[in-house]
Every structure is written in structure tokens, then in C-alpha cells.
Amino acid sequence: MELPPFDPFNENLRLNPYPTYRRYREAGPVHPGRVGQPGRAGETWYVLGYAACVQGLKDPALGRAGLYDHQRAMASEPSVLDSILLIDPPDHTRLRRLVSLAFTPRAVERVMPQLEAMAQEVLENLADRATWDVIGDFAFPFPVTVISALLGVPLGDRGLIRQWSRALTASIDVTQDPETYRRARDANHAFRAYLREMVQARRRQPQDDLLTALVQAQEAGDRLSEEELITMVTLLVVAGHETTVNLIGNGLWALWQHPAGWAQVQREGITDIGVDELLRYDSSVQATSRLALHPWELEGAHIPAGSVVIFLLGAANHDPAVFANPDELNLARMPNRHLAFGGGIHTCLGSALARAEGRVALNALFQQYPQLHLETGIPRWRPGFVFRGLESLRAAT
Ligand code: HEM
């Protein structure tokens, strides 16, 4: 039976994308589909097979720049659309190297010992409540606390940062609502003004934080302009926030669906291997896209130049050619070469931090609340497709 073009707006995908992925993947690894952003011209192709995703993500015949030109055309100032996430070499190489000078394993290690204290702090605010929302009350505030501490922005401003980050994240997801872009423009403007002041303060008075390290990487190498620096910081917040919220939320929900896994984590805590399985099982970033710079062929599909190619990381992570019993949660799965952090030159820069945050958050939650249980029922997933996460998840202790 001929399958209809792949449609990222199909409501079934939001509820549970994996049966649909399986149907398409069984018919072939690459499919044409519906355009995911309003105003975007050209064809859109979807890649579901693991091997095809790995191959495509590494191929220099595909780029990032130009993917969001329809949105960029409406912008009056730089934004996350101009960040390393969405540009090509040589600019990408230069800017990624610069951020890597500041966002070093050492900088990340410096916050690691504080992660547990930060998780505890968020949980303590919930101590006197019998029921609460794991997403809104814990999974959202924790990563924003971590990134704020890492950067050195005042913890009192976490609410603002969370709000800006949310609006910006929505604008890089698939959407049918042009209002999303207006909200992102406003958030971008306010966020940049806020950061500009912060950067100027660091220049006058350096601190022991990532913001200062970025300012100094700029001054020593004379290579990060002020606007590039601000763009980089907005990216670190956007890339590191909702993704990690969803690792915690989707992870907890996956464990709740697998009582043996839940009981194991309740008893022994979760390891890095377990966190990787949660990342694979219900990936918080379901897709990443590229633009075909030339006519391109993948697994027999002829993709015209200018097409958007969407790599369905969540589908690749359930490809039975690579993962035995892919729809089962196996907290001891090894090897586990999932693509939750993408691939090629844009591979996630924050993966070590993300894994540590996931582990610390889940362990803190189970330690603090050994009797934790979730309210069952049909979970509500947030709108969007690229960033997969729950709207709320009621818990009782
Ligand atoms: C569970 C949490 C996370 C997930 C699932 C995730 C996933 C991803 C994915 C899929 C990409 C794009 C890769 C590609 O297109 O091939 C990416 C890029 C990126 N991520 Fe993450 N991420 C997470 C957390 C973080 C954190 C905590 C940070 C930093 C604070 C971060 C910083 C970045 C940056 C800077 C990029 C752009 C890299 C580039 O384009 O060169 N991410 N991430």
C-alpha cells in the first residue's frame, strides 16, 4: 500500500510517533513529506533509517545555513538562527572552536559537584506539597538553574530566562502558527538586551563563570564579536534547556510505563548507561534538519538541491537493524549508539552536561521521594514535533 507523504503535524505522531515511524521505515528509509515551517519553499524529505541518518548527518553535501531564511528575513537583529546550530563551515568551525575554548569539560566539571545541591534546592521548594507537577515544578526549573549558574546569571532571573528560552525553542520546531515567530522575535530582543548588559558588566569586572570565559575568549583571540557572543549565549540556553527538561520528563514517563525499570531506579538509582537508554527510548529531540546544497541521492531517493532533509533521530533510535527489541526499555543496553545528540559537525556540544543533569535529577528525585508515584491517565504532550515533551506530569509522594 502506498503511504501518504510523511506529515510531522499528524496528531498521532505527537501522542506516540513510534508506530508511524515503523510503518514508514519498513517501507524504506527515506520518504518525501510535508513542509514543516510556514513560508518555506521547496521539497521536504524525511529520513528514518539509522544507517541513512548516520550517513546523511556526516555528508558535507548537506548544510544548515539557509534552512530558516524565511524566518531570518523578518528579523531585525541576530538570533539563535545565526548561531553555530544553524550555520555552515567555515563560520561554524571558527565559532564552535571559540565556544569550545570556554565551554570546556573543566567549566562543566566545575558545576558538576553543585548539580546535586541545585536539584535538592528545587525539590526542597516542593517539600510541603502532597502532589505536584514533575514537569513544571521540577524538570523545568532544574536545567535553567544549572545553565544560569554555569553562565553566572543571577538565579533570581531564572523565570525570565525560562520564558525567553521557551519562545525561542518553539520557533525552531515545526509550526503552523506564524505567531510563534513574533513571540520569538520579542523574546530574542529582550534576551539580547539583558545579555548585553551582563556582558558589559563582565568586561568591567570579570568573574569565575562561563560568561566571563566567553568574553575573554573574545578578547584574547579577538574573534568573537559582541553580537556573536550574545548569540552564542542565547544558543546555550535554548539548546540546553527544554531538551534537558524533556530528558527528565520523558525519562520518568518511560520508567513509569515499565514498572520493573521504575522499581530498579527506585532501589539502585540510575547510571549513565540507563540515562543513555532513556535518551534513546523516547528522545527529547526527535529530529534535526539539513538543506541539500546540491542534488543529492540517499538510499535511492533523488533529492533536489534546495530541499529540506529532516533526519528523524527518534525513528533511527528505534531501528531494529541496530537496536534489538527497540521498543523495549532496557536500562542495561550496551552498546547504545543512539543518535539523540545528532551527528556530524553539529553533534551536541552539551551532551556530557545533559547526561549528568539527567542522572542527577532522576537520582535526587527518587532519593528525596522514595514513594514517588505518577498519576496515570493519558499524558498531554506539548505542541510541536522536534522537541518532544510532556505538558505536565502529576506526581504524588
Ligand atoms: C538531553 C539534552 C540534550 C539533547 C537531547 C540535545 C540534543 C542536541 C541535538 C540533536 C543537536 C543537533 C545535532 C545535529 O543537528 O546533528 C544539539 C546541538 C547542540 N547542543 Fe544539545 N542537546 C541537549 C542538551 C544540551 C545542553 C545541556 C547544551 C549546553 C548547555 C547543549 C548545547 C548544544 C549546542 C551548542 C549545539 C549546537 C552544536 C553545533 O551546531 O555545532 N545541548 N543538541
| Domain-wise residue ranges, the chain | 11-396
At 69, the pLDDT band (50, 70, 90 cuts) reads confident
The pLDDT of residue 38 is above 90? no
Mean pLDDT of all residues in 27-56: 90
Going from the Cα of 209 to the center of ligand 1, the distance in angstroms, rounded, reads: 20
**Mean pLDDT, the chain, as a whole number?**
92
Tell me which architecture the domain covering 11-396 has in CATH: Orthogonal Bundle (1.10)
CB 310 within 8 A of CB 287: yes
Give the three-state DSSP class for 234: helix
In this structure, which residue's CA is closest to atom 18 in ligand 1?
A: 348
Least confidently predicted of 147-151, 259-263, 343-347: 147-151
Q: What is the pLDDT of residue 262?
A: 97
Pocket test for ligand 1, best of 348, 359, 385, 387 (most atoms within 8 A of CB): 348
Q: What is the pLDDT of residue 221?
A: 64
Q: What is the pLDDT of residue 219?
A: 66
Ligand 1 atom with least separation from CA of 235: 35
In this structure, which residue's CA is closest to atom 9 in ligand 1?
A: 341
- Helices then strands, counting H and E runs in the chain, come out as 16, 12
Q: What is the pLDDT of residue 1?
A: 67
Global pTM value: 0.95
CA distance 10 to 161: 31
Can you name the residues that pair with 241 across neighbouring β-strands? none
Task: Name 327's Cβ contacts closer than 8 Å, sequence gap at least 6.
Answer: 18, 318
Mean pLDDT of all residues in 155-165: 92
Q: What is the pLDDT of residue 125?
A: 85
Ligand 1 atom with least separation from CA of 247: 1
At 101, the pLDDT band (50, 70, 90 cuts) reads confident
**Between β-strands 308-312 and 44-47, what pairing exists: parallel, antiparallel or unpaired?**
parallel
Least confidently predicted of 133-142, 171-180, 372-381: 171-180
CB 71 within 8 A of CB 209: no
The pLDDT of residue 62 is above 80? yes
Cβ-based burial of 41 (10 A; exposed 0-12, middle 13-18, buried ≥19): exposed
Give me the percent of the chain exceeding a pLDDT of 70: 97
HSE of 237 in the Cβ direction (CA atoms, 13 Å)?
Answer: 34
The pLDDT of residue 83 is above 70? yes
Provide residues with CB under 6 Å of ligand 1.
57, 84-85, 96, 147, 235-236, 239-240, 243-244, 247, 284-285, 288, 340-344, 346-350, 353-354
At 220, the pLDDT band (50, 70, 90 cuts) reads low
At 210, the pLDDT band (50, 70, 90 cuts) reads very high
CA distance 202 to 157: 17
Give me the percent of the chain exceeding a pLDDT of 90: 77
CA distance 390 to 133: 11
151-181 per-residue burial string, b: 16 or more CB within 10 A, e: under 16: bbbeeeebebbbebbbbbbbbbbbbeeeebb
CA distance 316 to 47: 8
CA distance 18 to 281: 10
The pLDDT of residue 218 is above 90? no
The pLDDT of residue 371 is above 70? yes
Q: What is the pLDDT of residue 270?
A: 97
